[in-house]
Amino acid sequence: MIDQVIVERKKNIDLILIFCVYFIVLMSFVAVNSAVSMLDYKDRILKTQIFALIIGSSMMVFVWFFDYDILNEYAAHLYIFSLISLLLVLFFGIADKGSKSWFRLPFFSIQPSEFARVFLLVFISSYLSKRPFMLKDFIGILKVFLLIVPFFVLMIKQPDFSGILITVFPLAVLFFVAGIDVKYFYIFGFYILVALLVPFLGVMIKIKPELLNNDIIEMFYSITYFNINMIIFLISFFIIFLVSWIIIRKLNPLIELGYVLFIYTLFALGYVTGVFIKDQIKEYQYKRIESFIYPEKDPRGAGYNIIQARVALGSGGFSGKGIFKGSQTRLGFIPERHTDFIVSVVGEEMGFIGVILLIISYVIIINRFKVIAFSSRDLFGYYLCISFGGLFMGYFFVNIGMILGFFPVAGVPLPFLSYGGSNLVASFLIIGIIQSVFKRRISIA
Amino acid sequence: MEIFRNDELVNKIYSLFYIIVIIFIIRLIDIQIIKYSYFYELSEKNRTRVIPRNGPRGNIITSDGIVVARNKISYSIMYFPSDTTNYDYLKKLSYLLSKIVGLNSEKLLTVILQAQNTHKPIKLVDRIGLEIIKSVYEIKNIFPELEIIEENIRDYPFNNYLSHVIGYVGKIEEKDIRKYILKGYSLDSIVGKNGVELMYEDELRGKNGGLFIEVDNRGRLVKVLGYEPWSKGNDVYLTVNWNVQKAAEDALRKLPYKRGAAVACEADSGRIIAYAVKPGIDLNNFVLKSSDTSYSYNVDEFNIPIQGLYPPASTFKIITTIAALESQKISKDRKFFCPGFYDAGSRVFKCWEKRGHGWVSMIDGLAKSCDVYYYNVADIVGPYEIENIAKRFRLDQKTGIDMPYEKTPIIFGPKKRIETKGYWYRGDTLNMSIGQGEIVVTPISMLLVIMAIANGGKFYKPYYVEKIVDERGNVLKENYPIVTGSLTLKPHTWDVLYKALREVVINGTGKACDVNGIEVYGKTGTAQNPHGKDHAWFVAFAKKDGKKTIAVSVIIEHGEHGSSAAAPVASKLIQAYYNVRENNSIKMEIIE
């Protein structure tokens, strides 16, 4: 097998991947340029983008030359570094659109969560590749879980919900592939479900305050705060669990107390997490969810953004209005047009052809991740490729899904296309890591 | 180590990914290709905005070229709704604006919110002055939604002269909204409300155009895309002669009586030369107050010449005279003795001259307006004959003048009485002969009577719009005299009648209307009014060689005597028509 490796190692770089990445970067350059053409600070934006492109490209080459084993070696350091940066941004960061997630540096700003996400995936990939049986038992899962939780807590504190959403997806893919017992997946799912129940109730009540007229809903809503009611609720719920267990045990003596306690703990944890999340939701995020549920309710308010973005996309037609000729783009009707809604700009100016080329490029990139994963020389490389593949899928689903109307508005960029230095550099970092895995691959074929 | 590589599972996950990609592509085709035209239209609507410009209304011009209704430029504050506002911002805007223009800030806010909801530009303040324009330009930097636009507003240079003919303009009333919307008006359009402005709205209305501009998401102008030209409405030329009109208005105004009217028209065509009503409507008042809908126009809009119903009184003696002559029951020379009263058996009827007129012939009877003479005539001629003549003179129908809400005069003769009540007394006959009783006529219907007498029995439809001319001077429509009927009387009847009517002016009750060099024929009247002082009548026509004959009908409410109140107005009017210097020798005797 080793011989084979030596024989097959011919190409050092995956040209298809590089080609697709730079094709998107080119498209991004045109689209961002068009999107900001009416802004006063367009020069600054374009300079930042070019600067980030240079930094990102050199970072990619740098990582590509080094053996990615170095990441395995320093994974723990990267993990701690990421945690500290996320902690520091809560104290020294600057707020943008309600989220305190930026470090202001003399010439540019850095969004540490973009890098932290990459490093977390690197760390978890490394951690799991070193301990292949980790996810087979509950204690192992709990350990991995506890390693991830601090990240999420810090991200919720910013708050950066879309950031968490985009991080959860690759982690889930990774766990799945790493052979997590499906049973634990269900347990985890149950926890998430309970945790989401409380914010969901909060959102529904924000949208339809008349729901509180219902006594039962009112009662449930009154215990979604950190107060004495919540403690009373948890204790009384515990007693109900115990009592019902005592009754059920008469019928089926095989059910152990530990089982019941476990389910109760899971429920209580999910519930407390839910209340915690609900407290972090900002007003504009309620608006976004509301506009996703009822986009026509307030076409001049929060729903306006997504409607205008879709008008831009639709009005491009098959071949688009022409580069720099999109009225929705140029006249500023598309919100966040150079970042989260950039696909609308592509859709308006380059039409269906442009968007299809974009989608194909992404599919090829994500597909290359899989191919490289299959040819990787070790489990760490395999996990890296799978988790980053999941990450890119997440970006793709959330960003394009939002513009097409499958997702509520979430501040998730599309790698390589959206304006944003940190995201671009982090994305190039990922490509560098993947290329490094490719360079040191084995070939089975 | 390979056992931890789950390629199969990875392939499954990727298959799911491809399926989602395909769903995305289907949705993309739906948005970009199937619904392309819908979204394209929306994007065009987004970027373009129209600044409407109302085409100015046409002018209203008298036959001698005086413009009596025109346009002038005025400035208004418009609000263009934008997408990036919130309640607090608008509240601030309306507060600042209210400070500048001196309006209620909450009212302004309501209007702005309404504009914001409907997403249509709305006019906030009308007719602003220079100071306000300056201040608004200052706050315009903070509030780009505000815009100052130039508009045409209606201006009536002579204010309340000729007001009932001209009419006025105003905002569309709620009851008319449907009608105007169907014709393509916008809700804040200004439309004619009365007179020519209402009757010729379709002609006067300017063609609206607008400036098409490209705007960004804040509604700020990016560039002008083009404009659709607006054009002025058509001009309406009136038959009214301003000189005569002014003379009539001035004469009415000088009188101490509150209400009255003088209408004159060419006897051979029905062209109205003057149409003066006192009190006139202060037309500019409507223009100035039109932005404030709560303002109540407490004005007297009563159009006396077509809406005022008065007993014709002595002017009706013309009809009785004709009836006497046509029936051939009384010769013109037959005299009756007037002792100042007439014994009708059960009742004694008085002559207005208590001392009596002595022996009175037909010409004297009309000239001196002797009631007793006509009582005698009525008894001999009988009520049917009189009613018949009155009907032949169309005193029971509308004149058909092109004005809204004309009232029908009522001849309550024996035929009608038999139909309704079933009895008719001798006293009724006597009352009818002197135009009292239950006969009521409008000044314009009396004008038609005197016109028909002047031209030998032809009835014309009175009209006041000569022609309609478009912006380039093309005549679009021209009105010609319309003969609506005629009647023939015996030549002898005409001779006697003309002699008698001339005698009224020369020696009789109409002396006040005797103008040098002009043959004036007329008849005064004093309508008994149970509610107050009597109404004064004067109907006349005047002839001059080489000039057209003019017919005049004057009514002065509570003017007491036709000879003193109504006749001088007619005199002024006739003088103005024939360009005769004012005749100072008019005697203001009270004679009837």
Residues B210 and B321 reside in one and the same domain: no
Examine the pLDDT at B16 and tell me if it is beyond 70.
Answer: yes
- B46 has a chain A CB within 8 A of its CB: yes
DSSP label at B582?
P
B9, B32, B83 ranked by CB distance to A352: nearest: B32
Domain hosting B514: range is: 242-280+300-577
Q: Could you tell me which of A206, A212, A220 has the C-alpha nearest to residue A271?
A: A220
Cα separation, B221 vs B200, in Å, equals: 38
Q: Do A310 and B215 touch (CB under 8 A)?
A: no
At residue B532's C-alpha, the angle toward residues B528 and B533, to 5°, is 65
Q: B109 vs chain A: nearest CA distance in angstroms? A: 18
Instruction: Say yes or no: B341 and B204 in one domain.
Output: no
Chain A contact for B95 (CB, 8 A cutoff): no
Q: List CB contacts (< 8 A) between B10 and chain A.
A: 177, 370, 373-374, 386
Q: Is A55 on the interface with B (CB under 8 A)?
A: no
pLDDT at A112 over 60: yes
pLDDT bucket at B589, cuts 50 / 70 / 90? very low
Interface test with B, best of A327, A334, A344 (most B CBs within 10 A): A327
B182 occurs within a structural domain? yes
Q: Which residue of B has its CA nearest to A312?
A: B43
Task: Determine which of A359, A364, A404, A437 to mutate to test the interface with B (most B C-beta atoms within 10 Å).
Answer: A404
A245 phi, psi to nearest 5 deg: -65, -45
Residue B6 lies in a domain: no
- Chain A, nearest residue to B37 by Cα: A315
What is the model's pLDDT at position B170? 82
Dmax (CA) for chain B in angstroms is 149
Least confident of A159-168, B58-67, B175-184: B175-184
Query: Are B31 and A308 an interchain contact pair (Cβ–Cβ within 8 Å)?
Result: no
For residue B371, the domain's CATH number is 3.40.710.10
The residues in A 259-288 lying below 8 A from B, measured between CB atoms, are: none
Of A359, A386, A406, the CB nearest to B21: A359
Min Cα distance A178 → chain B (Å) is 6
Q: How far off is chain A from B6, nearest CA to CA, in Å?
A: 6
Q: Are A82 and A444 in contact (CB under 8 A)?
A: no
Residue B498 in this model has a pLDDT that exceeds 80: yes
Q: CB distance from A304 to chain B under 8 Å?
A: yes
User: Which CATH number goes with the domain that contains B69?
Assistant: 3.90.1310.10
Q: What is the nearest CA distance from A392 to chain B, expressed in angstroms? A: 11
Task: Pick the closest to residue B49 from B80, B19, B73 (CA basis).
Answer: B80
Domain ranges of chain A: 2-180+298-439
Contact call for residues B194 and B306 (beta carbons, < 8 A): no
**At A1, is the pLDDT very low, low, confident or very high (cuts 50, 70, 90)?**
very low
pLDDT digits over B308-329, tens only?
899 988 899 999 999 999 888 8
Helix axes B87-101, B130-140, angle to 10 degrees: 160
Residues B194 and B254 both lie in one domain? no
The continuous run of DSSP H or E covering B338 comes out as strand B336-338
C-alpha A235/C-alpha A231 separation (Å) is: 6
Tokens of B302: 């009563």
Structure-token match 């002038």, residue found:
B72
Any domain includes B7: no
State residue B182's pLDDT score.
81
| CB-based contact B47 A304, cutoff 8 Å | no
B462 and B386 both lie in a single domain: yes
Q: What is the pLDDT of residue B119?
A: 65
| Interstrand relation of B483-486 and B458-460 (parallel, antiparallel or unpaired) | antiparallel
Residue B30 placed within a domain:
no
Q: Which residue in the set A300, A347, A352 is minimally distant from B83, CB to CB?
A: A300
Of A30, A104, A26, nearest to A338 (Cα)? Answer: A30
Kindly state whether A378 is in contact with chain B, defined as any CB-CB distance less than 8 angstroms: yes
Rounded Cα distance between A5 and A376, Å, is 11
Check A379 against B29: CB less than 8 A apart.
no
B263 and B232, same domain (yes or no): no
Contact A310 B6 (CB under 8 A): no
Q: Rounded distance, CA B36 to CA B15, Å?
A: 30
Confidence of residue B291 (pLDDT cuts 50, 70, 90): very low
Nearest CA in chain B to A305: B83
In angstroms, the CA A400 to CA B21 distance is 10
Neighbours of A185 (CB within 10 A): 15
- CB-based contact (8 Å) between A295 and chain B? no
Looking at CA atoms only, how far is residue B162 from chain A in angstroms?
51
Q: Are residues B166 and B82 in the same domain?
A: yes
User: Under a CB-based contact definition with an 8 Å cutoff, are residues B307 and B555 in contact?
Assistant: no
Shortest Cα–Cα distance, B23 to chain A (Å): 10
Residues B337 and B464 in one domain: yes
Partners of A405 on chain B (C-beta within 8 Å) are: 27
CB-based contacts of A393, cutoff 8 Å, min separation 6: A169, A170, A173, A366, B17
Contacts of residue A91, defined as CB under 8 A and 6 or more positions apart, other chains included, come to: none
**CA dihedral of residues B535, B531, B410, B456 (deg, nearest 10):** -10
Q: Which among A373, A378, A396 has CB closest to B10?
A: A373
Rounded distance between C-alpha atoms, residue B278 and residue B162, angstroms: 10
Query: For residue B15, is it within any domain?
Result: no
> Distance, in angstroms, between A157 CA and closest chain B CA?
28
DSSP state for residue B114 in the 8-state scheme = H
Contacts 24+ apart (CB under 8 A), B27-32: B27/A404, B27/A405, B27/A406, B28/A313, B28/A352, B28/A355, B28/A356, B28/A359, B28/A404, B29/A352, B31/A310, B31/A313, B31/A314, B31/A404, B32/A313, B32/A314, B32/A316, B32/A317, B32/A318, B32/A347, B32/A351, B32/A352, B32/A355
- pLDDT band for position B20 (cuts 50, 70, 90): very high
Please give the average per-residue pLDDT across A286-295, as a whole number. 70
Residues of B in contact with A374 (CB under 8 A): 5, 7, 10
- Note whether B360 and B328 are same-domain residues: yes
In this structure, are B259 and B185 located in the same domain?
no
Instruction: Looking at the structure, tell me whether residues B257 and B336 fall in a common domain.
Output: yes
A30 in contact with B, Cβ within 8 Å: no
Tens-place pLDDT, residues A177-212? 988 877 887 888 888 888 888 888 888 887 777 777
Q: CA A257, CA A251: separation in Å to the nearest integer? A: 14
What is the C-alpha radius of gyration for chain A, rounded to an integer number of angstroms? 24
**What pLDDT does B592 receive?**
38
B358-360 vs B336-338, strand pairing mode: antiparallel
Check whether residue B246 and residue B347 sit in a common domain.
yes
CB contact under 8 A, B6 and A179: yes
Closest chain B residue to A373 measured between Cα atoms?
A: B7
Q: Any bridge partners for residue B155, and if so which?
A: B70
How many A-B residue pairs are in contact by the CB < 8 A criterion? 125
Rounded to the nearest angstrom, the minimum Cα separation between B17 and chain A is 7
pLDDT tens sequence across A335-393 = 788 888 999 999 999 999 999 999 999 999 999 999 999 988 889 999 999 999 999 99
Q: Is A314 touching B (CB cutoff 8 A)?
A: yes
Are residue B230 and residue B274 in the same domain, yes or no? Answer: no
Least confident range from A340-354, B247-261, B570-584: namely B570-584
Number of domains in chain B: 2
